[in-house]
């Protein structure tokens, strides 16, 4: 039995859950014993990644449920909704980091320990690698939620990189530069919010049934025109429902055809279009007679 493309996204999110749980614990302990709030802020970011990946898994599992009487178009909207929740959780994590960073900046404390730099290097490499892996899966399955999950990983890498720079400044600068890593955490939170915004908008567009890539419509039109009996095409609307596409297409045929013949052509168009792209699960055809146009 062929597995649904979303299964790849679910697996990548589950891998992210285990990796982030380990990183959150490692960074939290290193930040506590190494006197680095930037590293603790990083641990908070990893912990939020665990939650966000769980949301992505839940969203994808709901999205791939088959259509039923109450959901004739399926449950696909659960996927972009999950992406929106993950993007908002990024904002929540950033706000938490800002509040705690400001508290640490005005509170005298020791400079971070040098060993925290080693931890951060490992974290940056791990998170950037995880980002590349999950993002490639997102591109493969065309999942907004998985793509959002991937950027969650890169935001974590950015936070870690900023913490590394801050700790280096604190160690080199000595007395008076103890809060450099806290300022780094503050800076990283701005980047996180920026990323969250650019992740939220595409998910919102999908929920609002914004048109997907024009390439999808171009492919539909090209395939439909190849069907025998099709003279031309008029309107073509495509909407994305989770990982699937639904198409509304107006097909122009000869006005001299019988209803039965026009109906047969519409079925041929639908079957051909669906076969050309497995992610197109339904095509609603409206037959237009040539003379009518």
Give the number of C-alpha atoms closer than 13 A to the C-alpha of residue 59, restricted to the C-beta side. 30
Q: How confident is the model at residue 264 (pLDDT cuts 50, 70, 90)?
A: very high
Which H helix or E strand runs over 286? strand 280-289
Burial bucket for residue 97 (CB in 10 Å: 0-12, 13-18, 19+): buried
* 20 neighbors 53 (Cβ within 8 angstroms): yes
pLDDT band at residue 172 under the 50/70/90 scheme: confident
pLDDT band at residue 1, thresholds of 50, 70 and 90? Answer: very low
Both tokens of 165, joined, read 């720079």
Q: What is the pLDDT of residue 2?
A: 53
Is pLDDT above 90 for 183? no
User: Can you tell me the distance from the alpha carbon of 5 to that of 12, in angstroms, rounded to the nearest whole number?
Assistant: 12
CA distance 49 to 93: 9
| Rounded Cα–Cα distance for residues 96 and 46 (Å) | 13
- Please give the residue that has the higher pLDDT: either 90 or 282: 282
> Mind listing the domains of the chain with CATH numbers?
6-207 (1.20.1510.10), 214-292 (3.30.70.1350)
| Chain centroid, CA 234 distance in Å | 33
Angle, alpha carbons 158-136-66 (nearest 5°): 120
Rounded distance, CA 25 to CA 261, Å?
67
Sign of the C-alpha dihedral computed for residues 208, 214, 215 and 216 taken in this order: positive
CA neighbor of 87 nearest in space, from 40, 155, 159: 155
- Residue 115 CA to residue 33 CA, distance in Å, equals 10
Residue in the structure block whose two tokens are 């146009």: 293
> In the chain, pLDDT over 90 holds for what percent of residues?
23
- Does pLDDT of 42 surpass 60? yes
190-216: pLDDT as tens digits: 888 888 888 888 888 888 888 888 899
Q: Do residues 117 and 168 lie in contact, with contact meaning Cβ atoms separated by under 8 Å? A: yes
Q: What is the pLDDT of residue 232?
A: 92
Contact present, 160 and 127 (Cβ < 8 Å): yes
How high is the pLDDT of residue 24? Answer: 86
pLDDT beyond 70 at 291:
no
For residue 169, pLDDT over 90 is answered with no
Strands 280-289 and 232-241: unpaired
Please enumerate in sequence order all residues whose Cβ is within 8 A of that of 96, keeping only pairs 6 or more positions apart, or say none. 41, 44
Q: Is the dihedral of CA 246, 279, 221, 261 positive or negative?
A: negative
When mean pLDDT is compared across 40-54, 68-82, 127-141, 199-213, the lowest value belongs to 40-54
Closest CA to 153 of 42, 58, 30, 32: 42
Average pLDDT, the chain: 85
**With 50 as the cut, is the pLDDT of residue 66 above it?**
yes
**Beta strand residue intervals within the chain, DSSP E:** 232-241, 244-253, 280-289
Q: What is the mean pLDDT of residues 156-162?
A: 81
| pLDDT above 80 (res 48) | no
Among the ranges given (11-25, 95-109, 132-146), the one the predictor scored with the smallest mean pLDDT: 95-109
The pLDDT value given to residue 268: 95
| pLDDT at residue 4 greater than cutoff 90 | no
CA–CA gap between residue 204 and residue 206 (Å, rounded): 5
Tell me the average pLDDT across 240-265.
90
How far apart are alpha carbons 12 and 23 in whole angstroms?
16
Would you give the end-to-end CA distance of the chain in angstroms? 45
pLDDT in tens, 109-128: 666 778 888 888 988 899 89
């Amino acid at each position: 039995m062929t597995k649904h493309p979303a299964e790849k996204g679910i697996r990548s999110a589950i891998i992210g859950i285990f990796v982030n749980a380990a990183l959150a614990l490692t960074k939290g302990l290193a930040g506590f014993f190494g006197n680095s709030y930037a590293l603790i802020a990083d641990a908070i970011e990893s912990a939020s990644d665990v939650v966000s990946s769980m949301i992505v898994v839940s969203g994808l599992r709901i999205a791939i449920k088959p259509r039923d009487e109450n959901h004739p178009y399926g449950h696909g909207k659960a996927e972009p909704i999950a992406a929106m929740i993950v993007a908002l959780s990024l904002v929540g994590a950033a706000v938490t980091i800002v509040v705690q960073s400001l508290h640490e900046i005005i509170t005298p404390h020791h400079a971070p320990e040098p060993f925290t730099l080693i931890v951060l290097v490992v974290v940056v490499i791990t998170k950037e690698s995880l980002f590349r892996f999950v993002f490639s899966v997102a591109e493969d399955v065309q999942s907004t939620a998985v793509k959002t999950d991937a950027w969650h990983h890169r935001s974590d890498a950015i936070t870690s990189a900023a913490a590394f720079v801050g700790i280096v400044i604190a160690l080199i600068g000595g007395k008076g530069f103890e809060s450099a890593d806290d300022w780094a955490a503050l800076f990283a939170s701005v980047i996180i919010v920026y990323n969250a915004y650019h992740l939220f908008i595409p998910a919102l567009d999908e929920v609002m049934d914004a048109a997907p890539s024009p390439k999808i419509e171009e492919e539909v039109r090209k395939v439909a025109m190849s069907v025998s009996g099709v003279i031309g095409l008029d309107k073509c609307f495509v909407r994305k429902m989770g990982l699937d596409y639904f198409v509304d297409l107006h097909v122009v045929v000869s006005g001299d055809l019988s209803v039965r013949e026009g109906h047969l052509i519409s079925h041929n168009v639908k079957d051909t279009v669906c076969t050309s792209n497995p992610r197109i699960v339904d095509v609603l055809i409206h037959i237009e007679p040539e003379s009518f146009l």
